[in-house]
Amino acid sequence: MIPVQGLNGAVVAVLGLGRSGLSASRALAAGGAVPRCWDDNPEAREKAATEGFDCVDLKRDGAFEGVARLIVSPGIPHLYPAPNPVVSAALAAGVPVDNDIGLFFQSFADDSWDEFDTAPRVIAVTGSNGKSTTSALIHHIMEHVGRPSQLAGNIGRGVLDIDPAVDGEVVVLELSSYQTELARALTPDIAVFTNLSPDHLDRHGGKGGYFAAKRRLFAEGGPDRAVIGVDEAEGRFLAGQLSEGAVDDRVIRISVAEKLTGPGWQVFARKGFLSEYRKGKQVGSIDLRGVAGLPGAHNHQNACAAYAACRALGLAPKVIEAAFHTFGGLPHRSQTVGEAGGVRFVNDSKATNVDSAAKALAAFSNIRWICGGLEKEGGLGGLSGATAAVRKAYVIGREAAQFAMQLDVEAEVCTTMAAAVARAWEDAEEGDVILLAPAAASFDQYDSFERRGEDFVAQVKKFAP
């Protein structure tokens, strides 16, 4: 646990008592603060009460008298589409609003660091797609070279649940836009921006607000080094804002769309080969085609981001390359889960938006595509031109028929995962890939993309035990 510093003796309100809320309450108490907790869910309040936390209705009049700060869980809106009433009350009372990420950056360093030979470092990864794989890959590389490392945030443990740092440690954080938008302290040593595509637009008041939330990690965080994906206009703009000029190697630009040139520091992947250039000269190269845990151009982008972050720490290209080959990938992200009769089953349930699904489709040939679910804002137009390798789509979800009508390939309405996998298997021929890449959220049928992926795996076992 990371005890919260700077709030000893202060009353701190905590709204939302899920994983991050309870973790924040424990860390606040460990640092001498007095948590005042609330959740609209009685079961969540009861769980907090069993741990000894005082649960007080933060919606009542005067609830913020004497309160030093309000800590809000990621799922609770603080601005768009409308602020939670508790957040509004806190702001009206002049109480600062923060989250567990802000508390972490405020509290991670302590006096013990004075005795370390090598100060711990924090690498924070954000972006629309690929941040989980990138974060896990960086953490894996650290473990591969024997450097102490912890993985936290949206993946692994909660940020305040990790252990206090040891000499030379690297903490890798995956951070969503919900987290970066609200955190009052953001001070990573290295910050990574993978890419940007429309997502969570209602929560951020549009694409501009969504980008602004991610940009805070860099503009307000002031990292020593910034790794920026420049395949979209927003990434190019961000890299330009952070750089003092073409030769400024504090910004490492990455791409899978083009060869990057110039006197700065660039890492790019083309036709399966990763290249690193500095001052106009190539200084590193990796053949990614044989890296089983990183299939497709979208994973090559993740490889570029992780490679650049690790190079910024001083690791050698050959060391990073060796670690790539021992990376097994993440569950629900282009994960091969079975093979039978020359047919491969791939679980990419994490492809919850159009852009991530398009990238998954580009990674394979002869695809029997299982898709559908709770359609996100913006529709399916972004899939146009991305379905060339799809032989047929098998659509799941409560609105499967409407979803299927928007696709530009032959589509069969299956509704359930069991039916979709069975029909895809019946139609499949040797060399086909049965790919779950929903291009939609899971919440019409499942409580998470993980549950959806687990159902896919369970159905696959009927045909590829």
Please tell me whether residues 113 and 177 are part of one structural domain.
yes
The answer to whether 347 is a known ligand-binding residue is no
Burial category of 271 from C-beta neighbours within 10 Å (exposed 0-12, middle 13-18, buried 19 and up): exposed
CA distances to 349, 368, 376, 413 from 381, in Å: 20, 20, 11, 19
Domain boundary among 98, 116, 139: 98
In a domain, residue 465? The reply is no
In a domain, residue 3? The reply is no
Average pLDDT value for residue range 413-432: 98
Cβ atoms of 362 and 354 within 8 Å: the answer is: no
Distance CA 35, CA 22 (A): 10
The answer to whether 206 is a known ligand-binding residue is no
In a domain, residue 218? The reply is yes
Confidence band, pLDDT 50/70/90 cuts, at residue 185: very high
Cβ atoms of 138 and 306 within 8 Å: the answer is: yes
Closest listed residue to residue 464, CA positions, set 428, 416, 411: 428
The answer to whether 129 is a known ligand-binding residue is yes
In a domain, residue 5? The reply is no
Please tell me whether residues 139 and 258 are part of one structural domain.
yes
The answer to whether 341 is a known ligand-binding residue is no
CATH number of the structural domain spanning residue 78: 3.40.50.720
Is residue 155 scored above 80 in pLDDT? yes
The answer to whether 128 is a known ligand-binding residue is yes
In a domain, residue 6? The reply is no
Please tell me whether residues 62 and 192 are part of one structural domain.
no
Please tell me whether residues 431 and 404 are part of one structural domain.
yes
Is residue 75 scored above 90 in pLDDT? no
CATH number of the structural domain spanning residue 191: 3.40.1190.10
CATH number of the structural domain spanning residue 367: 3.90.190.20
Is residue 295 scored above 90 in pLDDT? no
Domain boundary among 98, 127, 150: 98
Domain boundary among 77, 98, 119: 98
**Residue 58 in tokens:** 């933060």
* pTM assigned to the model: 0.86
Please tell me whether residues 43 and 174 are part of one structural domain.
no
Q: How many independent structural domains does the chain possess? A: 3
Domain that holds residue 265: 108-324
